[in-house]
């Protein structure tokens, strides 16, 4: 009974009702499926050259293309859904009212966070028939299909938590949204550039000291925190293939997918805890004393 009371989050249920009754949600779902479905069917049409035969060997490429497009849509939609959940309440001057109710800061943050991500989860689940069309041709294992959807959930949780944190820190929804897009764009590009720079520096050091040019496994693992390369690692593509060069290294035995999940899990937990702390009307004395010192 106590567990049911804890799970009863009025903020979450109210957000679900408001979001699902909105006409914009239905149109957003329609255009989301229209874009992904149109790209998938166009790819099949071009591969068959308008005929009736589709080479099953190209199914893997189509599945990877669809997965990357879905990942791009997540990065495009989730920041817009989450970066204004708290700042929007502040702009409508309803945040102080919510904080004076029986709803705790933890329930408020988790309710807003889960309500925003639930709509994106609904969009992802709605694309299952598209994946089923591709899956029927073969070339993809059920385990990879399941892993891809788990990857989407982990990515959405991480991006959404950062969006909620920015919405808590910044008073204007527009600024928080733009900053959220900027952070994840720089993160996606920056992790790739940083890994390439470190790789080049190591190779330069090896050449300068006449050392054998051997790859370093931890550098290859740096690509794992990049969402694109983490997704490609599920299909055995990208830098994940280099891990076969280190058969005796324990670090090389770590699956890039789990490394990415652990990293985004830490980001999610840190962002949510910080958001809950910042939004609390009365903060713990320990933190107040530390701030005064």
pLDDT in tens, 47-59: 766 556 666 667 7
Distances (CA, A) of 209 to 4, 36, 199, 217, 219: 65, 51, 16, 20, 19
CA atoms within 13 A on the CB side of 59: 18
CA separation for the pair 26, 122 (Å, rounded): 11
The 10s digit of each residue's pLDDT in 155-206 is 999 999 999 999 998 888 888 899 999 998 999 888 888 888 887 787 777 7
Count other Cβ atoms within 10 Å, centred on residue 167.
30
SS (HEC) of 211-247: CCCCCCHHHHHHHHHCHHHHHHHHCCCHHHHHHHHCC
Of the listed ranges 48-52, 69-73, 243-247, 270-274, the one predicted with least confidence: 243-247
Query: Looking at per-residue confidence, does 222 or 87 come out higher?
Result: 87
d(C-alpha 101, C-alpha 78), whole Å: 28
Count of alpha carbons within 13 angstroms of residue 86, beta-carbon side:
30
Q: How confident is the model at residue 241 (pLDDT cuts 50, 70, 90)?
A: low
Cα–Cα distance, 59 to 67 (Å, whole number): 12
In terms of pLDDT, which residue wins out, 46 or 68? 68
pLDDT computed for residue 247 by the predictor = 56
Give me the half-sphere count of Cα atoms (radius 13 Å) on the Cβ side of residue 288: 6
DSSP 8-state class, residue 127: T
- This prediction has a pTM of 0.81
């Amino acid at each position: 009974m106590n567990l049911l009371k804890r799970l009863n989050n009025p903020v979450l249920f109210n957000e679900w009702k408001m979001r699902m009754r909105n006409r914009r949600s239905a149109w957003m779902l329609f255009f989301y499926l229209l874009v992904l479905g149109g790209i998938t069917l166009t790819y099949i049409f071009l591969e068959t050259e308008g005929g009736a035969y589709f080479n099953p060997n190209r199914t893997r490429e189509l599945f990877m293309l669809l997965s990357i497009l879905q990942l791009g849509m997540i990065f495009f939609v989730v920041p817009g859904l989450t970066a204004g959940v708290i700042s929007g309440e502040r702009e409508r001057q309803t945040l102080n009212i919510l904080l004076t109710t029986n709803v705790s800061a933890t329930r408020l943050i988790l309710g807003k966070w889960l309500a925003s991500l639930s709509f994106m989860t609904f969009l992802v689940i709605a694309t299952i028939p598209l994946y089923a069309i591709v899956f029927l041709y073969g070339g993809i294992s059920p385990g990879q299909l399941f892993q891809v959807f788990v990857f989407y959930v982990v990515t959405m949780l991480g991006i959404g938590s950062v969006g909620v944190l920015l919405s808590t820190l910044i008073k204007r929804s527009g600024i928080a949204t733009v900053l959220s897009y900027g952070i994840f764009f720089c993160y996606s590009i920056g992790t790739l550039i940083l890994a390439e720079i470190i790789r080049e520096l190591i190779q330069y050091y090896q050449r300068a000291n006449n050392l054998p040019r051997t790859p370093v496994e931890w550098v290859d693992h740096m690509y794992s925190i990049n969402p694109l390369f983490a997704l490609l690692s599920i299909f055995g593509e990208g830098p994940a293939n280099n891990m076969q060069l280190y058969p005796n290294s324990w670090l090389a035995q770590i699956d890039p997918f789990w490394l990415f999940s652990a990293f985004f899990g830490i980001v999610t937990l840190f962002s949510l805890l910080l958001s809950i702390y910042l939004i609390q009307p009365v903060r713990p004395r320990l933190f107040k004393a530390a701030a005064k010192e």
